[in-house]
Amino acid sequence: MRLLIQSKTTGRFLAPSLTDGQPEWVASLKQAGGGVVADIESAHQLMEDLDFDDQPQIVDLDRLGTENDYPN
Protein backbone atom coordinates (compact mmCIF):
# COMPACT_ATOMS: atom_id res chain seq x y z
CA MET A 1 0.00 0.00 0.00
CA ARG A 2 1.28 3.49 -0.92
CA LEU A 3 -0.67 6.37 0.56
CA LEU A 4 -0.35 10.10 -0.03
CA ILE A 5 -2.23 13.01 1.53
CA GLN A 6 -3.68 15.59 -0.84
CA SER A 7 -5.55 18.81 -0.09
CA LYS A 8 -9.01 18.93 -1.67
CA THR A 9 -8.83 22.73 -1.38
CA THR A 10 -5.50 23.43 -3.12
CA GLY A 11 -4.56 20.12 -4.77
CA ARG A 12 -1.18 20.18 -2.98
CA PHE A 13 0.44 17.16 -1.36
CA LEU A 14 1.66 16.74 2.22
CA ALA A 15 5.32 15.79 2.64
CA PRO A 16 8.06 16.27 5.24
CA SER A 17 10.05 19.48 4.78
CA LEU A 18 13.57 18.99 3.46
CA THR A 19 14.85 21.56 5.97
CA ASP A 20 13.31 20.48 9.28
CA GLY A 21 11.23 17.35 8.57
CA GLN A 22 7.94 18.99 9.58
CA PRO A 23 4.95 18.25 7.33
CA GLU A 24 4.35 20.90 4.67
CA TRP A 25 2.18 21.25 1.57
CA VAL A 26 4.05 20.96 -1.74
CA ALA A 27 2.71 21.52 -5.25
CA SER A 28 4.73 18.88 -7.06
CA LEU A 29 4.00 15.18 -6.89
CA LYS A 30 7.75 14.68 -7.36
CA GLN A 31 8.43 16.66 -4.15
CA ALA A 32 5.69 14.75 -2.36
CA GLY A 33 7.50 11.44 -2.82
CA GLY A 34 8.85 11.76 0.70
CA GLY A 35 5.27 11.90 1.96
CA VAL A 36 4.31 8.47 0.66
CA VAL A 37 3.54 6.18 3.60
CA ALA A 38 2.76 2.47 3.76
CA ASP A 39 -0.04 2.39 6.32
CA ILE A 40 -3.09 4.36 7.39
CA GLU A 41 -1.68 5.05 10.88
CA SER A 42 1.35 6.84 9.42
CA ALA A 43 -0.93 8.90 7.18
CA HIS A 44 -2.98 9.95 10.20
CA GLN A 45 0.23 10.91 12.06
CA LEU A 46 1.25 13.19 9.18
CA MET A 47 -2.16 14.87 9.35
CA GLU A 48 -2.09 15.22 13.14
CA ASP A 49 -1.33 18.96 13.33
CA LEU A 50 -2.91 20.12 10.08
CA ASP A 51 -5.35 22.95 9.59
CA PHE A 52 -8.35 21.05 8.28
CA ASP A 53 -9.40 24.00 6.08
CA ASP A 54 -7.19 22.25 3.52
CA GLN A 55 -9.61 19.30 3.55
CA PRO A 56 -6.94 16.59 3.52
CA GLN A 57 -7.77 13.32 1.82
CA ILE A 58 -5.79 10.10 1.78
CA VAL A 59 -5.07 8.81 -1.73
CA ASP A 60 -4.06 5.19 -2.29
CA LEU A 61 -1.59 5.33 -5.18
CA ASP A 62 -2.03 1.62 -5.87
CA ARG A 63 -5.75 1.99 -6.53
CA LEU A 64 -5.69 4.90 -8.96
CA GLY A 65 -7.09 4.21 -12.38
CA THR A 66 -8.59 0.81 -11.63
CA GLU A 67 -12.24 -0.06 -11.96
CA ASN A 68 -14.33 0.62 -8.85
CA ASP A 69 -11.37 2.17 -7.01
CA TYR A 70 -13.38 4.23 -4.56
CA PRO A 71 -17.02 4.45 -3.61
CA ASN A 72 -18.81 7.58 -4.84
Q: Write the pLDDT tens digit of every residue in 12-57.
A: 999 888 888 888 899 998 887 778 899 999 899 888 878 778 889 9
Half-sphere exposure of 58 (CA within 13 A, CB side): 18
pLDDT at 72 over 70: no
Contact present, 7 and 25 (Cβ < 8 Å): yes
Per-residue model confidence (pLDDT) at position 9? 92
Provide φ and ψ at 32, rounded to 5°.
-75, -5
User: Model pTM?
Assistant: 0.79
DSSP 8-state secondary structure symbol assigned to residue 48: T
CA distance 17 to 63: 26
Report the pLDDT value the prediction gives residue 54, as an integer from 0 to 100: 81
pLDDT at 53: 82
